[in-house]
Chains A and B, each alone.
Chain A
C-alpha cells in the first residue's frame, strides 16, 4: 500500500458506511531509528490549507481559532482504527460521535432548518 496513492485524498467512511469527508492529511512520526510510522489520518479544512503552503496554513489556523471557540484543529483518526483501504478508506468510528461534521451540523441548525421545507 502506498500512503499518498492509496490513502491520501480518498473518501472516508465510518463503520456504518456514512461519508465523513476525505482523508485530508496523514500524520507520520519519525523516530530516531527505523522507518517513519503512520500515526493519524486528519480530516479538516485547516489541514487542507496547510497543504497549500505554510503561510496559507498559518492564516487558516488563525482564522479557525477565532471562528470556532472550542475545537479549531483538524480531527484525527488513529491509524489503528483504519479497517479497510480500497477505493474508500473505512475506519472504526461513528461519524455522529466525531466532530468532523461541526460545520454541517452548525449550518443545519442555524440556516437550513430555519428555511421552510428542509425536513420531511
Chain B
C-alpha cells in the first residue's frame, strides 16, 4: 500500500512539476507559430529528461551522493568550479523568469503591474523555504501543480485532429521560417531537459533517504512522471496551435495567453490559466532556489538539508536566500518576462553538456553504483543525449540571435 502511494506520488511529481515558465512559454509560442509541427521536440525532451532523472535517482539511492557531489569528487575542483559558476548563472536567469511568471499571474488577476508583485512573491517563496521542510515543498508543488492538467482538458475540448497531432510527434523539417523553427525546437529542449530538474530530484532522493528498495519507484517516477508531464506541455502547444495559429497571432507576452483556456473552457478558463501559470512558476522557483543551495553545499561538502533549521545549515540556507534576492532584480527592473524566459531557456540548453557529459562516467563508476551501474542501453541513451546536448550548446546562441 505504502509503495502504491509512493508510486502515485512519483507520477504526481512528474505531472505537477513538469510545467513551468519555460516549458509553457516555449510550447505556446511553438503552437502559435508552427501549429503542431514541434510536438516532437517536447516528446524528445521529456524522453531525455526521463533517462537523466532515472539515472540521477539511481545514483542517489545507491551511493547517497548526488550528481553535484560526484562531479566535484570525480572530476576535481577546477571542473566543479567552472560547472558551478555556469549552473548558478543559468539558474539565476531561470529563477528570475519563474518569479516573473508568478508576478505576471498576479498582475492578470489584480491589474497591478508585475513589478509590484515581485518582492511579495519572492518573500513568500523564501519564507516557505526558510520554515518549510522538503516533504512539504515537494508534495505541495506536485499536488497543486496538477491544476496545469487544465491545458490537457483544454486541448481535448478543442477537438484537435488527432492524426495531425500524431504527425507532429515525429521530427520533420519546418514548413516556414527555418531559423525560428529551430530556435523554438532548441528552446523547448532547453526547457524540458533542465539540469536543475534532475539535480533537484537527486537531492530529493537523498533527503527522502532512498535506498536500493526505491529503484523500482525511481524507474516508474522517471518514466511515467516525465511522460505524463510532457503531455501537459503538449496540451499547451495544441491549445495554442488551435487558438492562435489559424488567426496568425504571434505570442509577444504572457498577457495574451489566458485566451487559450477561455476559448477552450469558457468562464473557468481564466482562473485555471492564472492558477496554472502562478502555481507552476512558483513551484519551479522553489525547486530552483533549493537546487542552487544544494549544488553549492554538495560540491563544497557543507552540511545541507531542507529538513534542518536554517541555523543548522547556515551557508546552505543563505545560498538560496541570496539567490532569490538576486533573481528579483530583472523583474523589478521591468524586464520583459517572456523575453527573459526565452533567453534563459536558450542558455539552459547551452549549459547542458557540462552537467550531462559527466553522467556517462559517473554512472559507470562501480565505487558509486556497485552492480547498479548503467547497462548498454542506458549508456547508449546517455551518449545520444550528450551528443544532442553538444549540438544544442553549439547552435543555441547563434539561433537566439538569428531566429529569436
Residues of A in contact with B (beta carbons under 8 Å apart): 8-12, 18-22, 24, 48, 51-52, 86-87, 103-105, 107-108, 111-113, 115, 117-120
Select one of A20, A22, A87, A120 contacting B63, CB under 8 A.
Answer: A87
B73 cross-chain contacts in A, Cβ below 8 A: 9-11, 22, 87
B78 cross-chain contacts in A, Cβ below 8 A: 51-52
- Asked whether A104 and B367 contact (CB < 8 A) given A22-B73, A51-B78, the answer is no
Complex A-B, nearest 8 residue pairs according to Cβ-Cβ distance, in ascending order: A22-B301, A108-B314, A21-B301, A118-B310, A107-B314, A112-B314, A118-B311, A119-B311
A9–B315 CB distance below 8 A: no
Select one of A19, A118, A120 contacting B130, CB under 8 A.
Answer: A118
B311–A112 CB distance below 8 A: yes
Kindly identify, within residues 89 to 128 of chain B, every residue whose CB is under 8 Å from any CB belonging to chain A. Answer: 127
Task: Kindly provide the distance from the CB of A3 to the nearest chain B CB, expressed in whole angstroms.
Answer: 12
- Asked whether A115 and B314 contact (CB < 8 A) given A20-B301, A22-B73, A24-B77, the answer is no
Q: Which residue of A lies closest to B309 (CB)?
A: A119
Kindly identify, within residues 305 to 325 of chain B, every residue whose CB is under 8 Å from any CB belonging to chain A. Answer: 309-311, 314-315, 317-318
B81–A104 CB distance below 8 A: no
Select one of A24, A86, A107, A117 contacting B131, CB under 8 A.
Answer: A117
Select one of A9, A24, A87, A115 contacting B65, CB under 8 A.
Answer: A87
- Asked whether A118 and B301 contact (CB < 8 A) given A8-B76, A107-B314, A112-B317, the answer is no
- Asked whether A104 and B310 contact (CB < 8 A) given A9-B73, A9-B76, A22-B72, the answer is no
Select one of A21, A51, A107, A120 contacting B309, CB under 8 A.
Answer: A120
Select one of A11, A19, A111 contacting B314, CB under 8 A.
Answer: A111
B216 cross-chain contacts in A, Cβ below 8 A: none
- Asked whether A12 and B367 contact (CB < 8 A) given A48-B77, A104-B314, A118-B310, the answer is no
What's the Cα separation between A87 and B73 when bound, in Å? 9
Given A8-B76, A87-B65, A87-B367, 16 extra CB contacts under 8 A:
A9-B76, A9-B80, A11-B65, A11-B301, A51-B78, A86-B367, A87-B368, A108-B311, A111-B314, A112-B311, A115-B310, A117-B130, A118-B310, A118-B311, A118-B317, A120-B309
Say yes or no: is B303 at the interface (Cβ < 8 Å to chain A): yes
Task: Kindly provide the distance from the CB of A65 to the nearest chain B CB, expressed in whole angstroms.
Answer: 21
B311 cross-chain contacts in A, Cβ below 8 A: 108, 112-113, 118-119
Counting chain B residues whose Cβ lies within 8 A of the other chain, the interface size class is 20 to 34
Say yes or no: is B302 at the interface (Cβ < 8 Å to chain A): yes
What's the Cα separation between A20 and B57 when bound, in Å? 24
Say yes or no: is B69 at the interface (Cβ < 8 Å to chain A): yes
What's the Cα separation between A25 and B77 when bound, in Å? 10
Select one of A21, A87, A112, A120 contacting B302, CB under 8 A.
Answer: A21
Main DSSP-derived SS at the B contact region: helix
B131 cross-chain contacts in A, Cβ below 8 A: 117
B303–A18 CB distance below 8 A: yes
Task: Kindly provide the distance from the CB of B303 to the nearest chain A CB, expressed in whole angstroms.
Answer: 5
A19–B303 CB distance below 8 A: yes
A107 cross-chain contacts in B, Cβ below 8 A: 314-315, 318
Select one of B80, B130, B315 contacting A104, CB under 8 A.
Answer: B315
A108 cross-chain contacts in B, Cβ below 8 A: 311, 314
Task: Kindly provide the distance from the CB of B85 to the nearest chain A CB, expressed in whole angstroms.
Answer: 12
* Interface flags, B335-372, vs A, CB<8A=1, else 0: 00000000000000000000000000000000110000
Say yes or no: is B300 at the interface (Cβ < 8 Å to chain A): yes
Kindly identify, within residues 277 to 314 of chain B, every residue whose CB is under 8 Å from any CB belonging to chain A. Answer: 299-304, 309-311, 314
Task: Kindly provide the distance from the CB of B275 to the nearest chain A CB, expressed in whole angstroms.
Answer: 27
Select one of A12, A103, A113, A120 contacting B301, CB under 8 A.
Answer: A12
B65–A104 CB distance below 8 A: no
Select one of B76, B127, B318 contacting A111, CB under 8 A.
Answer: B318
B69 cross-chain contacts in A, Cβ below 8 A: 11
Q: Which residue of B lies closest to A100 (CB)?
A: B301
What's the Cα separation between A22 and B77 when bound, in Å? 10
